[in-house]
Structure 1
Amino acid sequence: HLYVLENTEEVPPYIEQHMIHIKTAYPKFRKRTKWLQDKHNSTFIQWLRFKVQSELEEDNHGVSENLRWLAVGPNMAVPLYRSYLIKGIKFNIKAQDDVRTTQNSGVYLLAHTMQVASAKDKNPIFSNMGFYGVIQEIWDLDYQKFTIPAFRCDWIDSSGLVVDELGFTLVDLSKIGHRNDQFVLASQVKQIFLLTTRCIVVGR
């Protein structure tokens, strides 16, 4: 749910407000980038729910129906699918691909993300990174008025990626990383084909 919120167009202004709130409440940590991000991650969902509820009580509040139901949160009962069609492209979970001759479970994500040099790094940097993964589960998050499909993926650790002399990305599927950040919105990824160890990105 947090990932959905942080990747919704209407939410960034609230993220900025929440970060200001945290820095004001914890002034001695205001320059600790990683601490602030961790605190934001653990408290933003509840903070946004109360913030939007408060705004809805005001006249001419300007809160859209989309944001209203996002702040409420998804139904806890989440349907899972083995296949899902998005913008004319069929995605499968890996278990579905394992019993078929075609392959539709490979995905690629380009994301602006925080990079931490070590556990002691208090001021990490943000930059664009590419991630290669395999879909393990397809979730359809129900926000009562609309649904948002999301993929739970096994993402390949950066140590498992090598670009060969022909420009192909070689992927070691045994090197799984990013276990705390497995989810991605279905609308954010490109489908890729994994050919043994070679990974070829195809356009949508």
Structure 2
Amino acid sequence: MYSLHKEELQRQSIANVQHRHHDEFPSWFKQYVVQKNLRGSLESTNHLYVLGLGPDMRVAKYSGIIVNGIRFHTIERDKYRHTQNSGIVVKGEHNSEEIDFYGELTDIIELEYCHGNCVYVFKCNWWNIDDKRMDQEHMAN
């Protein structure tokens, strides 16, 4: 659906497609899934509909969490501990090349959606381990 919205903007010959796509996608996605749900033609499960409605505006913040059996801690929680679990590795892409991004976990935020669905967002400080300088714009949060 992400590419569907982008293609729609390109067909309309809208200038600055990437910027508009970034700004408008969440509201477009919500409208899209609500309309599909009303028509009974939503191709996916209710999870897609719930995601389209957006999260609750209240969030929870944690210093540690276990996801799929893996323990994660924030830097602050690990500060005085012998065992460190705040390191993060994420596979990503930069200049069409697959690379690993390394960082430290600074915040764990829980976004709660309808019907008990939730998403955990990790905020990280990213390290530059390459001789080539990569600015923050090219690193994923």
TM-score for the superposition, normalised by structure 1: 0.60
SS in 2 for 1:57: helix
> Which one of 19, 30, 55 corresponds to residue 6 of structure 2?
19
Q: Which runs of 4+ in 1 moved over 4 A?
A: 179-182
> Which one of 71, 87, 107 corresponds to residue 68 of structure 2?
87
Aligned to 2:101: 131
Aligned to 2:122: 151
Once the 2 structures are TM-superposed, how far is the Cα of residue 59 of structure 1 from its aligned partner? 3.5
Once the 2 structures are TM-superposed, how far is the Cα of residue 111 of structure 1 from its aligned partner? 1.4
Deviations 1:70-89 (A, max 9, x none): 00111121101001012222
Once the 2 structures are TM-superposed, how far is the Cα of residue 93 of structure 1 from its aligned partner? 0.2
Deviates more, 1:49-58 or 1:35-44: 35-44
Once the 2 structures are TM-superposed, how far is the Cα of residue 90 of structure 1 from its aligned partner? 1.1
Deviations 1:48-76 (A, max 9, x none): 01111111121344342100010011112
Structure 1, unaligned runs of 5 or more: 1-13, 30-34, 116-125, 163-174, 184-204
**Residue 3 of structure 2 aligns to which amino acid in structure 1?**
E
Q: Give the CA RMSD over aligned residues.
A: 2.4
> Which one of 117, 138, 141 corresponds to residue 111 of structure 2?
141
Structure 2, unaligned runs of 5 or more: none
Q: What is the correspondence of 1:15-164 to structure 2 with a 5 Å cutoff?
A: 15-26=2-13, 29=15, 35-113=16-94, 115=95, 126-145=96-115, 146-157=117-128, 160-161=129-130
Deviations 1:140-190 (A, max 9, x none): 111122111121001113xx446xxxxxxxxxxxx995278653xxxxxxx
Deviations 1:15-64 (A, max 9, x none): 1210111101225x5xxxxx433322111101101111111121344342
CA distance in 2, matches of 1:81, 1:141: 12
